[in-house]
Amino acid sequence: MAEETNPVQEMLEDQLKDLFSAENQLIKALPKMAKSATNEQLRMAFERHLEETRGHVARLEQIADQMDFTLRGKKCKGMEGLIEEGKEVIQEFDDDVLDAALIGAAQKVEHYEIAAYGTARTHANMLGLTKVARLLQQTLDEEGRTDKKLTELAERVVNLEALQES
């Protein structure tokens, strides 16, 4: 008799595939955002987050191995839209406010990821997958710290520079 799969586990696997796609799209987008940033601290923050994002992908691969499924085969349309908005920001805004606009675009991405990782962590906990939940929480904590750093950079430096330039 074939093993019956739990619908919550199917949902979790689908969420993890979506996150895997999202993180891989972000790996392609972050270098462009870093290159567009005029503020050195912001450029470095994007580059640091790129390295962190590679770690998020590795963590998702570790989870998929533990749960015995493949992460391929899904495209995250949410991230695709957020990255598209980020590209528009780069085209639409001049240097004097570009960094502030880039931070806004980056925080939309972070908030999307925070929501997605939080949901996946909750579902992993529901299923009693404590190791998986712990790995998802690690990423969730990193995404939260990145969001906080972007806020601090915006409030301390970038938004003030944008105001002075305009």
Look up residue 39 and give its amino acid: N
Is the pTM here over 0.85, yes or no? yes
Helical packing angle, 77-92 and 7-36, nearest 10°: 10
Residue 41 and residue 149 in contact, taking contact as beta carbons nearer than 8 Å: no
- pLDDT greater at residue 57 or residue 166: 57
At 58-102, the pLDDT tens digits run: 999 999 999 999 999 999 999 999 999 999 999 999 887 999 999
User: What pLDDT is attached to residue 4?
Assistant: 64
CA–CA gap between residue 3 and residue 157 (Å, rounded): 56
Rounded mean pLDDT of 146-163?
A: 86
Q: For 73, which DSSP code?
A: S
- How would DSSP label each residue in 35-67? HH--SHHHHHHHHHHHHHHHHHHHHHHHHHHHH
- Domains in the chain: ranges and CATH: 7-165 (1.20.1260.10)
Work out the mean pLDDT of the chain and round it to a whole number. Answer: 94
- How would DSSP label each residue in 95-145? HHHHHHHHHHHHHHHHHHHHHHHHHHHHHHHHTT-HHHHHHHHHHHHHHHH
